[in-house]
């Protein structure tokens, strides 16, 4: 994530930005009510279709048992006074998702903003960076959000992110192909 004060990249294991000293706890003061960590699936926006609630819950539980990675899916009505990336960053840190070395991730859907954001704990970033995760979300889940298929979007996103964490990105040639196309576009401009 980028520091909200100076825009330097900060890791989720710091309490304050090493570049400018911005204290990350200040983010929490802007949140009126942080969702309670009541499980791996927290639908405070109440937008996940019933058919996907059980599928997502069982997928998350199975994934945690199989990998030891703490994966949470959270929906909230709005990011309030924060940027969605700041909100999910604060949630991951406030609840210490993944333990002391943050071996976890949070996939968060902001209903009002219709925005889907992922924060990857720092011990997993060698496998999947926040940027790569959010790129996957934009290409594979956001189109479903636009059709108001919230549960399906979250289920697909969780499966894609989970597969990369379990098996590595190289297994997914379409991601490699997509990255190559983006690089070609960048060099052509």
In the chain the domains, ranked by start, together with CATH numbers, are 32-188 (3.10.310.50)
% of the chain at pLDDT higher than 90: 52
Q: What is the pLDDT of residue 109?
A: 97
The Cα-based distances of 159 to 3, 132, 170, 174 in angstroms read 29, 15, 16, 15
Q: Are strands 70-76 and 41-43 parallel, antiparallel or unpaired?
A: parallel
Sheet harboring 115-120: ordered strands across? 41-43, 70-76, 104-110, 115-120
| Residue 187 binned pLDDT confidence (cut-offs 50, 70, 90) | very low
Tens digits of residue pLDDT in 92-123: 989 999 998 889 999 999 999 989 999 999 89
Residue 134 has pLDDT above 80, yes or no: yes
Residues whose CB falls within 8 Å of the CB of residue 19, separated by 6 or more in sequence, listed in order: 3, 6, 8, 10
- 140's tokens: 């594979």
> Is it the case that residue 178 has pLDDT exceeding 60?
no
Q: What percent of the chain lies above the pLDDT cut of 70?
A: 87
């Amino acid at each position: 994530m980028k520091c909200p004060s100076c825009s330097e990249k900060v890791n989720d294991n710091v309490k304050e930005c090493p570049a400018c000293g911005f204290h990350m706890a200040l983010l929490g003061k802007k949140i009126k009510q942080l969702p309670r960590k009541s499980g791996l699936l927290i639908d405070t926006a109440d937008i996940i279709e019933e058919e996907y609630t059980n599928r997502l819950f069982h997928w998350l539980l199975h994934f945690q048992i199989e990998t030891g990675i703490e994966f949470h899916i959270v929906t909230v009505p709005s990011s309030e006074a924060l940027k969605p990336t700041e909100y999910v960053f604060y949630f991951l840190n406030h609840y210490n998702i993944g333990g002391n070395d943050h071996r976890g991730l949070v996939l968060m859907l902001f209903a009002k903003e219709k925005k889907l954001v992922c924060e990857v704990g720092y011990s997993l970033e060698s496998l999947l960076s926040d940027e790569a995760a959010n790129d996957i979300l934009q290409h594979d889940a956001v189109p479903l959000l636009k059709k108001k298929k919230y549960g399906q979007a979250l289920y697909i996103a969780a499966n894609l992110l989970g597969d990369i964490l379990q098996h590595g990105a190289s297994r997914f040639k379409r991601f490699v192909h997509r990255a190559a196309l983006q690089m070609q576009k960048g060099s052509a401009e």
